Each structure stands twice: as C-alpha cells, then as structure tokens.
A and B are shown apart, each in its own frame.
Chain A
Amino acid sequence: MRVQTARRRTASAAGALVLAAGLMTAGGGLAQEAHYPAGGPKLPKWTDLPDWTGIWERGGDIVWDDSVPFKPGEPESPPYNEQFMKEYLARRAEMRAVALEGRPRNLRGGDLYGSMPAMMIALFPINVQVNPTEVVIMTPNGGAREIYTDGRGHPADPLPSTKGHSIGHWEGKVLVVDTCCIKASTRLPGGGAHSDAMHISERIWSPDGKSLKDAISVEDPKAFTKPWTTTKTYYRRPTWETVEYDGQENSRDFAPPGADDKFGPPEKEGAAGAAAAPPPAPVVPPKPKVDKVGKPATTEDLQKATAKAVGNLAWETVNVQDVKREGEKVTWIGATRSVKWRCGARSDGAQAFCEQ
C-alpha cells in the first residue's frame, strides 16, 4: 500500500485532497488550518475599516423577516420544497402536541439562536468587533461567529459547525460575506431543518453609524425552491455590557399533569429543609417606594415603553399609533414591522404592558 505524504492543494484546484496523515497533530485529530489562495494573508488597513465596535440590540421581532406580518401560531418557514415542507409540518405538529400536553420541553432556548443563520436575529444583544483579520460577532447564547477578512478561502475538507465557516471582503465600508459548512443538524428560524448544501450570503453595512444592517440570503438547493432572504437591523447600545446566558443553569420545568406539587430539579446538596418547610422571614424589610406620576408620555416615551414591555426590541423601530389618553391611563398600538402590539400604561408611560 502506498503511503501518501501530506500535501494540500489550494482551493482553486478542483477536488482538493487533504490527507488525514498530514494534518494529524501529535495528539491525534485534524487541525483546521487556514489556506490562502493568494499564497498568504492579505489584510485590509485598519484605517479603512468602519467602526462597528460594541453592543448592538436587535431592531426587529424574533422573526426571520420583519416585513412579513406575524401570524400567531404560524412560524415563518423557508421556501421549502415538497419533501422538506412535509417533514417540517409533521415536526411542528409534534412539538405543539408536546407543549399542549405539558410534557417536558426542550428548555435549551438559546441554542437555536446560536447557529447560523438564526443568530443574526440577535435574540440577545450582539457584540461586534472589527479588525483587519476578521469581524467577530459574539452572542451571549452561542459563542462567537468569525468572519475572516484576510483573504483566506473556505476549508478544502470542511468541519461542519453550528455557525459555519465565514469568509468576507470589504467593498468600501460594506462587508460581503460568504458562509458555508453549517452542520445539517442545526435548525432554522421557525424550527425547520436544512441540508448540508445550505449556503449563506450577506452584505453588512451601517447606513448612519447608529444602526447596522445585514441583508441575508440563504440558499439550499436540496431543501429550498428559491433563496430565503431578509434584512435585519441592529441598534447601537454604547453603555450596555454583555449579559451572560447559560441555558443549562436552571432546568426547572413544570411537572406533567397528575404529578404532585414538586417542581423542578431536586434540592441541591446541602440545601436546608424540604419543599414543604415554611419559608424563612425576610432579613431586610422592603424600602418604601415613592412612585410619583410623571409628565404625560411623549411618543418617544411610548416607543421605549413598548420596547421594554416586549423585551429585547429596539425602541427606535416601534411605530406608535392610535394613542388614547384616559385620565390615569394611556393606551396605544406599538407597531413593529411584523407585529402590532396593543399596549397600555400609566399616563407617564410607566408600568407598560403589551399584547399581540
């Protein structure tokens, strides 16, 4: 048997061969190495790069396409072909049945939004860092996405991952991105599946220095009949810090019907007393609160009240309509591109509550 030496061909050669033996490290396992069609890295200049550094909050709803009106109970699905659509509908029916029966749920809520393309919905605020080698987009719930801008190509023998492999280049201050190699087991917004042929193209730019836009096109020749596209917007939050998300830290869930009143995980070791023990008296008495009613809420106040009531939604995207002031209360419609929230609050905008 011929022993082949390790060689790597550049991506421009069809059917590049990467042999396991050559990439084995001393401890075993393949090393993911960059390879450069130009022969080496080619970096943009720092001074040519836009300043996108910092935390950005989602400017839309938790949907793929904010321009599609939200239909309760009807998640958006990609333009699936017949086979994938059949599987998708069956899976949704199954998940709905689980929910209605109160059976244990999948509580790993952050996972979907830690994979591509769903992470660009920015369930939680994202942190963007730009340098000549790469643009890094960090999420609290799923780690970092790296978009290499140093001229490297996609791996010849890709290791599929939840975020895929992203390479980009700058066209002025616009980042053009190409992502391949996303694990076939990840889910799309809406909960549907995709194939190993999924490929994502993006253009990312900041129209005004305060907002960031990502025009995304997802193609999957094995699963879609046409590309699935959207444009997401994010708003800069200069004073915010990252808030960590550990989706495994509390697996408490409701008990199935018929169970006794013991909920959630067993008491931790060393915890004093059983669930039926009376709770201890509070150590610190609550501070008396003086809550004076402020000036009548302005439109911006109502935008912010809507965003706060909904949670993780940039107030700038709320369109306040149908404001009705009745003495102590104010009601209004807070419309985002896909949802019309019906909101009410105290006259100064405090204690806001919104429903769909």
Chain B
Amino acid sequence: MARFRMRSWVLSGATALIAAALTTSTASAHHSFAMFDKEHPVQLQGTVKTWEFTNPHSWLVMMVMKDGKPVQYAVEGASVNTLIRQGFGVHTFAPGEKINIVISPLKNGGNGGAFVKAVKADGTILTESPTPN
C-alpha cells in the first residue's frame, strides 16, 4: 500500500512543526519521543492484528501491505489513563478490522511509530495528539 508523506491533516499553511521531545519531565525520565518523526506523518492502510489497551503504552499492531506482502507494524499510543478520557477503550479496535491510520514514524526506519489518528471503516475518527503521557 502506498506510503505517502503529508503535512499535518488539520493545520493548513506553511507552519513548521517543531521536532522535539514532547514534554519535559516525561522525555528524559520516562523515555524520549525524539525517536519519532513528528514532522513527517505517514498514513497507513491495513488490518488490525491486535489492540492492546495497556500501560505504560497502548499498542496497535497491524498488518500493512508492502510490495504485495503483509508487513507487521507496531504503533505506540498513550497510557490507559490518558486514552480512556479521549474515548478509547478495550474494544476500540478489533482483530481483522480494516483501518487507516496516521503515525509519526520511527526515525530509524523500523516498521512502527507513534499513534496520531485512526479512521475506522465506519468512519469513526480517533485522534491522539502526539504528546502521550
């Protein structure tokens, strides 16, 4: 499936995005989000393999077609405490479900990134600004 670079889906104009650690205390003591490329979000289309609504991070693992072969992507989200107040839950994504997601990809080129947005097949949009705690 095509992988394309896109600017922020909401903010129009030429506003440059600041690539940086996302918070102060969290960045150095918990772990740094410098590993994700926030400036160049990537859209992926695929099928949910597992949705782990857990701590310290939630994980959406999905199969994405790359050169005709399914490739596993691991997308990291925020903690349960944060996501639950933003409408996420245990059953938000089901295995086998088709979704489009937007991630801040891993800078090292690995198959993964930080969760930004998901659009489910029924049109539901779930967002998480890339400052998880």
- Whether A associates with B in a native complex is yes
Using a CB-CB cutoff of 8 Å, which residues 229-256 of chain A contact chain B?
A: 243-247, 249-250, 252, 254-255
Taking chain B's interface residues, is the majority helix, strand, or loop, or is none over half, making it mixed?
loop
CA–CA, A246 and B34, complex, Å? 24
Q: Is B31 touching A109 in the complex (CB atoms < 8 A)?
A: yes
Interface string of A275-297 (1 = CB under 8 A from B): 10011111110111101000000
| B101 on interface, CB distance cutoff 8 Å | no
| B123 on interface, CB distance cutoff 8 Å | yes
Query: Could you jot down 25 A-B contacts, CB within 8 Å?
Result: A64-B25, A74-B24, A75-B29, A96-B28, A99-B33, A108-B30, A110-B56, A118-B25, A124-B82, A190-B25, A243-B84, A250-B57, A254-B35, A257-B109, A261-B72, A279-B47, A289-B123, A310-B129, A311-B129, A329-B10, A342-B15, A352-B127, A353-B9, A354-B129, A356-B22
On chain A, the residues within 8 Å of B76 by CB distance are 254
| B42 on interface, CB distance cutoff 8 Å | no
On chain A, the residues within 8 Å of B108 by CB distance are 100-102, 257
Closest to B22 in A: A356
Q: Is B27 touching A75 in the complex (CB atoms < 8 A)?
A: yes
Q: Which residues of A contact B (CB under 8 A)?
A: 61-64, 70-76, 91-92, 95-96, 98-102, 105-110, 112-113, 118, 121, 123-125, 140-141, 187, 189-191, 243-247, 249-250, 252, 254-255, 257, 261-264, 275, 278-284, 286-289, 291, 308-312, 326, 329, 331, 341-345, 351-356
Q: Which residues of B contact A (CB under 8 A)?
A: 8-12, 15, 17-18, 20-35, 38, 47-49, 52, 54-57, 59, 61, 63, 70-72, 74, 76, 78-86, 94-97, 106-112, 116-117, 120-125, 127-133
Q: A70-B24, A102-B108, A280-B96 are in contact. List 7 more A-B contacts (CB 8 A).
A: A279-B47, A311-B85, A312-B133, A331-B12, A351-B10, A351-B125, A353-B117
Q: Is A286 touching B121 in the complex (CB atoms < 8 A)?
A: yes
Q: Is A110 touching B55 in the complex (CB atoms < 8 A)?
A: yes
CA–CA, A96 and B35, complex, Å? 9
On chain B, the residues within 8 Å of A124 by CB distance are 79, 81-82
What is the CB-to-nearest-CB distance from A275 to chain B, in angstroms, rounded to a whole number? 7
Q: Is A187 touching B81 in the complex (CB atoms < 8 A)?
A: no
Name B127's contact: one of A250, A341, A353, A356 (CB within 8 Å): A353
Q: Are A107 and B31 CB-contacts (below 8 A) given A75-B24, A250-B54, A254-B110?
A: yes
What is the CB-to-nearest-CB distance from B37 to chain A, in angstroms, rounded to a whole number? 11
On chain B, the residues within 8 Å of A105 by CB distance are 31-32
What is the CB-to-nearest-CB distance from A106 to chain B, in angstroms, rounded to a whole number? 6
On chain B, the residues within 8 Å of A331 by CB distance are 10-12
On chain B, the residues within 8 Å of A140 by CB distance are 81
CA–CA, A312 and B23, complex, Å? 13
On chain B, the residues within 8 Å of A254 by CB distance are 35, 74, 76, 106, 110, 112
Name B95's contact: one of A62, A63, A118, A280 (CB within 8 Å): A280
Q: Is A284 touching B57 in the complex (CB atoms < 8 A)?
A: no
Q: Is B127 touching A191 in the complex (CB atoms < 8 A)?
A: no
On chain B, the residues within 8 Å of A98 by CB distance are 32
Q: Is B52 touching A250 in the complex (CB atoms < 8 A)?
A: yes
Q: Is A311 touching B78 in the complex (CB atoms < 8 A)?
A: yes
Closest to A187 in B: B29
CA–CA, A331 and B123, complex, Å? 22
Closest to A240 in B: B85
**4 nearest A-B residue pairs (beta carbon):** A72-B20, A344-B10, A99-B32, A191-B29
What is the CB-to-nearest-CB distance from B59 to chain A, in angstroms, rounded to a whole number? 5
Q: Is B18 touching A356 in the complex (CB atoms < 8 A)?
A: yes
Name B131's contact: one of A92, A257, A356 (CB within 8 Å): A356
CA–CA, A285 and B78, complex, Å? 26
Name B10's contact: one of A62, A275, A345, A356 (CB within 8 Å): A345
Name B35's contact: one of A99, A106, A191 (CB within 8 Å): A99
Q: Is B133 touching A344 in the complex (CB atoms < 8 A)?
A: no
On chain A, the residues within 8 Å of B129 by CB distance are 309-311, 341, 352-355
CA–CA, A112 and B29, complex, Å? 7
CA–CA, A105 and B52, complex, Å? 19
Q: Is B34 touching A100 in the complex (CB atoms < 8 A)?
A: yes
What is the CB-to-nearest-CB distance from A333 to chain B, in angstroms, rounded to a whole number? 11
Q: Is A310 touching B131 in the complex (CB atoms < 8 A)?
A: yes
What is the CB-to-nearest-CB distance from A249 to chain B, in angstroms, rounded to a whole number? 5
Name B79's contact: one of A109, A189, A288 (CB within 8 Å): A109
